[in-house]
Amino acid sequence: MNSKTIMAFGAHPDDLEMTCGGTLIKLKQQGHRVICCDMTEGELGTRGTIETRKKECAVASKIMGIDARENLSLEDGFISSSKENKFKVIQVIRKYKPDLIMVHYYKDRHPDHYNTSHLVYESTFLAGLSRIDTGQEHHRVAKILYYIGWVEFKPTFIVDITDQFKQKIRSIYAYETQVKSKDPSYPQTRLTSKEHQWKILSRNKHYGSLIGKKYGEPFLLKGYMEVKDVTKLSFLSL
């Protein structure tokens, strides 16, 4: 198999685990190089601290088995497509030279999520321009895939994560201060509620059911996909 480098961007530590974590785990199991990049340290989170979030993120990354994880330390709650922020994203893209990038869907409830989407999209384009000098070789990324967040979309395709689902859940629950309610020193939040646990389970079951599998994660691709051999397409029979 021709191994590829996949780079996934999330606004906060735990975003990737909750959204496309199963797919990242699967890609690593298939022999690809998987890099995760968090934009902020999650310092505005209601529960936990920067230090606890870092420790939890390290545990989650180990559970997923990814190759590397970066944090750009942008300001939580105030992510923007500033020149300074673009240069940080350009530099990390040029460092790892991904073949494929994954990022938040560009419509979302959380401003940091959709602003991360726009920032990464613009920076991905700029990373391919040789006259932008970062002291690195310029790099052109072939495709950007959008993973689902708060706002639903009609997916271009769905990845079967049935075999990776338990590992995905373990990576999510590595963020104990964020999703477990056992620490009474912090107020309860949406993430610690049973409804949130139900939403993760039901959403992955829903998208899995659309392809005849137990669990699935949806992705959106702008533009069109080329198919070179239609006999190798996998789809649910009608």
Task: State residue 45's pLDDT score.
Answer: 81
Q: What are the structural domain ranges in the chain? A: 5-232
The CATH code of the domain at 5-232 is 3.40.50.10320
Task: State residue 237's pLDDT score.
Answer: 60
- Distance between CA atoms of 149 and 102, rounded to whole angstroms? 12
Task: State residue 238's pLDDT score.
Answer: 52
Contact between residue 205 and residue 165 where contact means Cβ atoms under 8 Å apart:
no
Task: From first to last of the 238 residues of the chain, give the pLDDT tens digit.
Answer: 689 999 999 999 999 999 999 999 999 999 999 999 999 999 988 777 899 899 999 999 999 999 999 999 999 999 999 999 999 999 999 999 999 999 999 999 999 999 999 999 999 999 999 999 999 999 999 899 999 998 999 999 999 999 999 999 999 999 888 776 676 666 666 666 677 777 888 999 999 999 999 999 999 999 888 889 988 888 776 5
Helical H runs in the chain? 15-19, 21-29, 50-64, 83-96, 111-126, 165-172, 176-179, 194-210
- CA 206, 5, 7, 67: dihedral to nearest 10 degrees? 100
